[in-house]
């Protein structure tokens, strides 16, 4: 995956580039808004990571201009501004996701990868499948190995999100955002408990576990 990092903090951009390279991605770096804009316009990138506050051209304006030119590369905003309306402003300007500094690297990586998947143009799916686990989105049923598994509505949404991102790590914050629409952190391990119940339903009694914990990052559904 080719990733453009537009970030004026060169040390932070350096860590990011190194980490992304170790995860198998190729990165370019622009240290100010104008360079970033030109590179994003002409380069062929899968994702742009854009800092909100940049010299010469701020992140919001940069993304607005890119969108005005019809460039639809997925954008992940990075910001030290964490208030809810800043986040909303970022998404309104054309950003696809918003991550507040400081962030865990695993979180950044999971979100970048999720952005690219989200952009895959596909037909509307009615069935999701991971190994012998099947999900019927219309009938709202879940089967594993031919046996139906009863699900609460919230569990269904949780599983759906994990299935749509199967093979990739999703973080607790991503789950909170997409399954509960919360942009804050509960202090206790509420998400972990939901996951362990879900695991009890879909993995218990089967030889091959599907739902894995990724240490220090989150969870991954993998067949």
Q: Which residues bind other proteins (CB under 8 A)?
A: 82-85, 88, 102, 104, 154, 180, 182-190, 193-194, 196-197, 216
Beta carbon nearer to other proteins, 144 or 172: 172
Quickly list H helices, the chain: 10-22, 33-42, 59-68, 84-92, 105-119, 153-164, 172-175, 190-202
φ and ψ at residue 198, rounded to 5 degrees: -65, -40
Name the minimum Å distance from CB 190 to other proteins: 5
Beta carbon nearer to other proteins, 126 or 196: 196
**What is the C-alpha separation between 27 and 3, in angstroms, rounded?**
5
Name the minimum Å distance from CB 68 to other proteins: 24
Of 30, 51, 52, 55, the closest CA to residue 41 belongs to 30
Name the minimum Å distance from CB 78 to other proteins: 15
Name the minimum Å distance from CB 79 to other proteins: 13
Beta carbon nearer to other proteins, 42 or 215: 215
Name the minimum Å distance from CB 23 to other proteins: 18
Q: What is the bridge-based pairing of β-strands 147-149 and 97-100?
A: unpaired
User: In 129-156, which positions are buried (b, 16+ CB within 10 angstroms) versus exposed (e)?
Assistant: ebeebbbeeeeeebebeeeebebeeebb
CB-count burial class (<10 Å; 0-12, 13-18, 19+) for 193: exposed
Beta carbon nearer to other proteins, 85 or 120: 85
Beta carbon nearer to other proteins, 187 or 204: 187
- 3-state SS class at 26: strand
């Amino acid at each position: 995956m080719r990733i453009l990092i537009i970030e004026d903090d060169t040390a932070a951009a350096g860590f990011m580039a190194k980490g992304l390279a170790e995860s198998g991605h190729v990165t370019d770096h622009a240290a100010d808004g104008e360079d970033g804009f030109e590179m994003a316009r002409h380069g062929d990138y899968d994702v742009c990571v854009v800092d909100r506050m940049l010299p010469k051209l701020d992140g919001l304006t940069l993304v607005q201009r890119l969108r005005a030119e019809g460039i639809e590369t997925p954008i992940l905003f990075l910001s030290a501004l964490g208030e809810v309306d800043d986040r909303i402003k970022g998404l309104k300007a054309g950003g696809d996701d918003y991550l507040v500094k400081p962030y865990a690297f695993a979180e950044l990586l999971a979100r970048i990868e999720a952005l690219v998947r989200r952009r895959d143009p596909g037909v509307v799916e009615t069935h999701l499948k991971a190994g012998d686990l099947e999900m019927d989105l219309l009938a709202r049923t879940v089967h594993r190995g031919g046996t139906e598994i009863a699900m609460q509505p919230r569990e269904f949404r949780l599983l759906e999100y994990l299935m749509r991102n199967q093979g990739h790590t999703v973080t607790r914050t991503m789950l909170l955002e997409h399954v509960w629409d919360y942009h804050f952190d509960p202090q206790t391990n509420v998400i972990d408990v939901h996951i362990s119940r879900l695991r009890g339903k879909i993995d218990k009694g089967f030889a091959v576990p599907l739902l894995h914990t990724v240490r220090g990052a989150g969870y991954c559904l993998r067949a």
